[in-house]
């Protein structure tokens, strides 16, 4: 039986970002690498990817292509995040005995991925890429994190 090593505080921050435009700067340690950037929603990450693909392929308005797949994933993420938020708000209004509240808290759907904008990896010769890029990683792979973004000195 595997043990869940996901940091539940970080998972809550990701859940908050998925339900809003939190925009919190984070620094993560993932597989020994230091990654720094701004926490964004899964919806925003898919939108950024769709726009990048649209620009790279010179797609015209209304043209179907790879970017439309990312747009549909952004819509799906938005729908999912909105529904999860509505369910949580509805449950917050219901008074349940403690044992049921505890069970609901344990039954939360796990967050699988964390998304950053302007992400940069700390390398011996500086941050790469210098301008940053959208980044998506497995939340369970994050071994350490802090609020704030590393800057080049």
Mean pLDDT of 78-101: 67
Q: What is the pLDDT of residue 111?
A: 78
The pLDDT of residue 130: 80
Helix (H) or strand (E) holding 49: helix 42-57
- Across-strand partners of 25? 38
**DSSP helix/strand/coil, 141:** helix
Asked whether residue 153 carries a pLDDT value surpassing 80, the answer given is no
Lay out the sheet containing 113-123: strands in order across.
126-138, 113-123, 33-40, 25-30, 142-147
Domains and CATH numbers, the chain: 8-42+75-147 (2.30.30.100)
Q: Are 114 and 142 in contact (CB under 8 A)?
A: yes
Question: According to the model, what pLDDT value does residue 134 have?
Answer: 93
Query: For residue 117, what pLDDT is reported?
Result: 94
């Amino acid at each position: 039986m595997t043990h869940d090593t996901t940091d539940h505080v970080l998972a809550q921050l990701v859940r908050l970002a998925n339900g809003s435009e939190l925009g919190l700067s984070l620094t993560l340690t993932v597989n020994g690498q230091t990654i720094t950037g701004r926490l964004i929603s899964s919806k925003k990450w898919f939108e950024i990817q769709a726009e990048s693909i649209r620009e790279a392929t010179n797609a015209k308005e209304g043209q179907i292509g790879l970017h439309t797949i990312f747009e549909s994933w952004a819509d799906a993420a938005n729908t999912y995040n909105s529904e999860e938020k509505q369910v949580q708000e509805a449950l917050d209004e219901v008074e349940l005995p403690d044992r049921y509240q505890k069970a609901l808290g344990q039954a939360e759907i796990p967050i699988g991925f964390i998304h950053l904008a302007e992400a940069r990896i700390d390398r011996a010769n500086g941050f790469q890429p210098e301008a940053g890029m959208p980044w998506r990683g497995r939340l369970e792979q994050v071994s350490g994190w802090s609020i704030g973004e590393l800057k080049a000195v």
